Structure 1
Amino acid sequence: MSAPRPSEPSPRWRLTVAQTGAIAVGFLTAGAGVAVGHADVVVMGLPLLALAAWAWDRRPHAASGRQATDASPAAPLDVQLTADRAAREHSIGYRVRLETPPGVEAVQLRVLELGVRPRLHVLAASPARPIDVRGRVPAPHSGPQRVVAVDLRLVAAGSALITDVAAPVAVDRTVDPAFTPIGALPLPPRLTGLTGSHDSSRPGDGGDFHDIDRFRPGDRLRRIDWKATARLAREPGELYVRRTRAQADATVFVVIDSADDVGENVDTWAHFDPLNSGTTSLDIARAAASAIAAGYIRQGDRVALADLAVPGRVALPGAGARHLDRLLRAIAATRPSGALRATRRPPLVTQGAAVYLLSTFLDDHPAASALQFAATGHRVIAVDVLPPARTNELTVERRIAHRLVVMDRDNRLTALRGGGVEVLAWGLEQDDPARDAALLALARPGHPSARPAAVSR
């Protein structure tokens, strides 16, 4: 994976600050000698001017047709991500390769890792030996991120000439979240499919026992229950059949609130720091959304994806391995949108679907959307993705402010429970016994939100 330098005008050579100062001193010395009439003073300033002229004459030229220009020769810069083991080492390798043109004596490379760690390399240049710089960048978060950005400056004529800093070459990468598909699947109040792996209330084939009823046209002869017929028949020729439940699939909407991304370190909430923030809310949301989508699709259900903060970011309900791959790519590509509250709108949800709303619930909009979904008859599970807070480094004022924010958030979660929304806390670990037990309780048929399922034709 490489990022070649885009075509752009080559930077021009210019004298360094020291060389410009030497020219100024030379002119002042020579002028002062002329003014006072001392030739020896004039001669003292001439070497500085001669050195600047010699350096400028030795500048490398960029060929343009038959003529040479004052622009620097092109320096092809190639940045690649090397084969890494990010899943095990939580890091990404990179390689910077630069072929220096003739006349260039040194190269200043500035490598910016994750946008927060600058590294400056001053390397000797040789046309016969390309410059090769390697390194590794920690990958503490999932999702899209800028791994490395590299810019350069060429040096020539004994460090008397330099170029302006060229436009940076950046390499981005989307890191897939680590997840384990959930096994317990809470079902919506109403199953909307005609085939699937869940028992519905509609009589049909493939499911558990439903009831015993009179034989009707269309019933299969092998379904006749002769013992029930002998016990219940009141007229000659009256037959009774054993009916089973039809199997159906569920429709699930996974709704992610990408308006903000806050980490364990509360001190980084205002200014995000990828190295010191710890696990963030979107890290947890990506893992949770992937686990929910994979769990339902592997059971044959249909899953849709929506973004609460970006109305146009929607994946329609679907099933199958290809649809799961599309969902996982879309989930991994979710980034903080920073959308204003006025621009966020709850997505349109298929009738009878279950809704998983993943949010930190630090403001009123996601809670209001969850209550709106519940009021329209959907089974809503609010997944709390706020990581546990670290407040040791906070000042007293910030600690009080954080406590007030948490109190408002607790009030919203209490209001959600009172409005018929189930709240599920999603922790940092992939295998969380408490979360699995909570999902298992939500998936039980006797749960208040799991009303008897019915299939809409």
Structure 2
Amino acid sequence: MSTTGMSDTREPSEPRWRLTVAQTGAVIVGSLAALAGVVSGHADTVVMGVPLLALAAWAWDRRPRSASGAAARDASPVEGPLLTVSGDTTATAGSLAYRVRVDPQPGVEAVQLRVFELGVHPRAHVLALAPGHPIDVRGHVPAPHSGPQRIVTVDWRLVASGGALITDVGGPIGVDRVITPLFTPIAALPLPHRLTGLTGAHDSSRPGDGGDFHDLAPFQPGDRLRRIDWKATARLAREPGELYVRRTRAQADATVFVVIDSGDDVGENVDTWARFDPVASGATTLDIARSAGSAIAAGYVRIGDRVGFADLGAPRRVVPAGGGSRHLDRLLRQIAATAPVGSYQASRRPPLVTQGALVYILSSYLDDRPVMGALSLAATGHRVVAVDVLPPPHLDELSTERRIAHRIVMMDRATRFDRLRGAGIDLLVWGTGRTSAERDAALLALARPGRPLVGVAR
């Protein structure tokens, strides 16, 4: 598992200092005592209030004047007035390391840190500081999911003048990472109804060079002499000089599009569907979709086919079909960066794909949007494979009402699958409950030539 840095850099700013609540109360008491002494003419009352005011003035005069002192920069850091937050560029054992470095400026005596791991687990730290001696706060964050994630978020408050002065809460600042999903390129490759390429690794239906046997045909001008089948000529020739050649199928490449539905991201724990919890949710639909999409893209590009990518929830996120290792790297980065959009954008049109392409639509199919896209693409002649990425549900903690609601949602989902099957769309289940052997068997069944391939004329 690897990560790619995505950080939100902020410029250092001057902290705003203010008196603490206790010190503010002392100023109020001292002011009232001094005022009462002046009005009443009692010098002893004035003397009681003056020390409190003098201490507040002394503390205010000693406040730090400079906001400089950010620590040395690390991989994709995010800076604040006194600290640098950074995350390691690699993940090990399913976790990510982070570091918060505090480099104190003169006059700052302590800092209060609040570190949010994965945005939901706060950890508070109170650190005593000494100028010229940076302090590191380190930790590890579990990495239960792939894709874009806010690894750690930090806000802080500075303390000076013996605790008499504090700043407003600064931040938040943090580090984002794109965690690459784990995947294995698929070996069994279903093909589109029509192979449009003129060269590649698959046998098309048109005659040409390089493929399996196509047919026997009378010799025509332009045919190569080495293709003459003398046994067939002796058996089939009826006229003197009549020759027969052995024709093979031409090789062609396939065009494949991986379409991911980012409209929602729900996990194994159904109780977290309404309020997402990155730890309690378990594997999510987008976790499975990123892994499946990467495996599909790598499998086809590896043998020379052209692969494109589209996001059903964000129509502008499109990668045109292409091939080669650089194009595969681009595809994998785009697939890994897929994040839930929460709601679909205004466009209701299915993604534009190359004519005659094979389209994989990876979705949970909890709503009608991916179904309508699949039906539209199938109606225009594309071969469509609906990939179900919904993980097996965990219902142990659900109330009776929620169990009934979940059952209704699953019934609607089954109806959508019936519509897809009725339109001739293939269904592939790619969830955490299926073993790799079961998935390979399903892909192999889809890769069998169930429909004749339609070749194209030169």
TM-score (norm. length: structure 1): 0.92
Choose from 153, 160, 182 the match for 1:156.
Answer: 160
Choose from 394, 399, 407 the match for 2:398.
Answer: 394
Match of 2:453 in 1: 452
Match of 2:232 in 1: 228
Name structure 2 gaps, 5 residues minimum. Answer: 69-79
Does the CA-based 8 Å contact 2:363-2:387 persist in structure 1? yes
Cα deviations across residues 412-451 of structure 1 (Å, max 9, x unaligned)?
1111111111111101279522211111111111x2xx33
Q: Distance in 1 between matches of 2:9 and 2:254?
A: 49
Return the offset for 1:398: 1.9
Cα deviations across residues 138-184 of structure 1 (Å, max 9, x unaligned)?
11110111111222221111110011222332211100000011111
For the structure 1 residues 419 and 386, does the alpha-carbon distance in structure 2 shift closer, same or farther, using more than 3 Å as the test? same
Q: Distance in 1 between matches of 2:275 and 2:7?
A: 28
Secondary structure at the aligned position of 2:170 is classed as: coil
Does the CA-based 8 Å contact 1:202-1:245 persist in structure 2? yes
Matched, 1:109 2:104: no
Matched, 1:265 2:269: yes
Map of 1:376-395 to 2, 5 A cutoff? 376-395=380-399
Name structure 1 gaps, 5 residues minimum. Answer: 65-73
Deviating more after overlay: 3-12 vs 151-160? 3-12
Match of 1:80 in 2: 86
Matched, 1:274 2:278: yes
Cα deviations across residues 73-93 of structure 1 (Å, max 9, x unaligned)?
x9442222225433xx11111
Q: Distance in 2 between matches of 1:324 and 1:430?
A: 26
Matched, 1:177 2:177: no
Map of 1:377-456 to 2, 5 A cutoff? 377-428=381-432, 432-445=436-449, 447=450, 450-455=451-456
Does the CA-based 8 Å contact 1:308-1:345 persist in structure 2? no
Choose from 135, 144, 156 the match for 1:131.
Answer: 135
Matched, 1:52 2:56: yes
For the structure 1 residues 356 and 227, does the alpha-carbon distance in structure 2 shift closer, same or farther, using more than 3 Å as the test? same
Match of 2:313 in 1: 309
For the structure 1 residues 452 and 60, does the alpha-carbon distance in structure 2 shift closer, same or farther, using more than 3 Å as the test? closer
Return the offset for 1:23: 1.6
Q: Distance in 2 between matches of 1:109 and 1:283?
A: 32
Matched, 1:365 2:366: no
Q: Distance in 1 between matches of 2:399 and 2:417?
A: 27
Q: Distance in 1 between matches of 2:116 and 2:279?
A: 13
Does the CA-based 8 Å contact 1:309-1:344 persist in structure 2? no
Q: Distance in 2 between matches of 1:456 and 1:353?
A: 17
Does the CA-based 8 Å contact 1:179-1:430 persist in structure 2? no
Q: Distance in 2 between matches of 1:35 and 1:277?
A: 67
Letter paired with 2:91: R
What number of residue pairs does the alignment pair up?
443
Q: Distance in 1 between matches of 2:168 and 2:384?
A: 57
Return the offset for 1:273: 1.3
Matched, 1:7 2:8: no
Does the CA-based 8 Å contact 2:183-2:294 persist in structure 1? yes
For the structure 1 residues 456 and 297, does the alpha-carbon distance in structure 2 shift closer, same or farther, using more than 3 Å as the test? farther
For the structure 1 residues 5 and 351, does the alpha-carbon distance in structure 2 shift closer, same or farther, using more than 3 Å as the test? closer
For the structure 1 residues 265 and 63, does the alpha-carbon distance in structure 2 shift closer, same or farther, using more than 3 Å as the test? closer
Matched, 1:338 2:339: no
For the structure 1 residues 76 and 50, does the alpha-carbon distance in structure 2 shift closer, same or farther, using more than 3 Å as the test? closer
Letter paired with 2:455: A
Deviating more after overlay: 394-403 vs 225-234? 394-403
Match of 2:29 in 1: 25
Return the offset for 1:324: 0.7
Return the offset for 1:53: 2.0
Cα deviations across residues 249-279 of structure 1 (Å, max 9, x unaligned)?
1111111111111111112212211111111
TM-score (norm. length: structure 2): 0.92
Secondary structure at the aligned position of 2:162 is classed as: coil
Choose from 146, 149, 158 the match for 1:145.
Answer: 149
Secondary structure at the aligned position of 2:108 is classed as: coil
For the structure 1 residues 4 and 359, does the alpha-carbon distance in structure 2 shift closer, same or farther, using more than 3 Å as the test? closer
